[in-house]
Amino acid sequence: MHRRPAAASTAPHPLDRLLAERRPIVMCILNLTPDSFADGGRFVDPAAAIAHAEKMIAQGADIIDVGAESTRPYPGMRPVSADEELARLMPVLPQVIALGVPVSIDTIKAEVATRALAAGAAIVNDVWGLQHDPEMANVVAAHDVPVIVTHNRETVDPALNILRDIEAFFSRSLEIAWSAGIGRNRIVLDPGIGFGKTPEQSLAAIAGLARLRDFGLPLLIGLSRKRFINAVSPSAPQDRLAGSLAGAVLAVLEGAAIVRVHDVAETVQALRVAAAIRAAR
């Protein structure tokens, strides 16, 4: 039996304002990791990380998503302890928050989320959709912040109907959220492009965004530089800008409210041009 959704929170939040503008929201990626697939090691130095955050804000980023543990798909990721994750995160996070743009903490650990929210982070980005750490939903509810619920799988099953699996996963995550008291207006859904999916399934998830809008919640798409682009057009992660832009524009046309990207200036320009062409109709 499905629980009644938790009541919407009445407290204002920066994400509410961004969503009310009814334009694509650009979330930029700041990896403080040595092993992320696209830019691992580039921003482990705090000064380099902060400078990169400043640059992305100047280019038009609306949200900064900060991660200190690689979330690359299994089996390539190397899990780290909460202590190691926090040791990477805390020399950088307060200074990034001070830049004045809402900051999202990309973590699957409630302990890390708690420390980041106490420091001023505004959003939790959980790539296991509240289903990894049993305390995560309680932390989100206690702080009354938005959570990005991402579909994920530990194994890839090419025979799977991926949209049905995503829908079932989201339903479980929403049950967890309602039970914890997370307000309906505090949830964003992400189909998890590349997480536990074949390239073909990632393409199907992007193409199926309109179907996922039936949940009645904002959708985020994170496809920047991901492996499915290589399957369509062989390329290294750093050479997938064109594919990333094509995917971002089409995802927004299919209903994505937020795009999570590495290349901010190029994405902002592509989305603005697409919007201008549609407006000219």
pLDDT per residue as tens digits for the range 95-120: 999 999 999 999 999 999 999 999 99
Q: Is residue 59 part of a domain?
A: yes
For the chain, what is the domain count? 1
Candidates 260, 272, 278, 281; catalytic one: 260
Residue 183 has a pLDDT of 95
Whether 246 maps to a domain, the answer reads yes
Residue 3 inside a domain? The answer is no
Establish if 19 belongs to a structural domain. Answer: yes
**Which amino acid is located at 173 in the chain?**
S
Q: Is residue 2 part of a domain?
A: no
Domain that holds residue 60: 14-279
Residue 212 is predicted with a pLDDT of 98
Residue 147 located in a structural domain: yes
**What is residue 76's predicted lDDT score, i.e. its pLDDT?**
56
- Amino acid at the residue 265: A
Res. 1 pLDDT band, cuts 50 70 90: very low
Q: Which DSSP helix (H) or strand (E) runs through 115?
A: helix 110-119
Please report, for the domain that includes residue 246, its CATH number: 3.20.20.20
Residue 222 is assigned to a structural domain of this protein: yes
Cα 179 from Cα 126, distance rounded (Å): 17
Known catalytic residue: 260?
yes
Bridge partner list, 189? 149, 219
Asked if 95 and 119 count as a contact pair (C-beta separation under 8 A), the reply is no
Distance CA 217, CA 20 (A): 13
Look up residue 163 and give its two tokens. 């949209």
Using alpha carbons, select from 188, 158, 193, 163 the residue that is nearest to residue 174.
Answer: 188
Name the catalytic one among 109, 197, 226, 227. 226
Is the pLDDT score of 2 beyond 60? no
Six token digits for residue 150: 């991402």
Alpha carbon distance 3, 137 (integer Å): 15
In a domain, 5, yes or no: no
Q: Which residues share a beta bridge with 124?
A: 105, 147
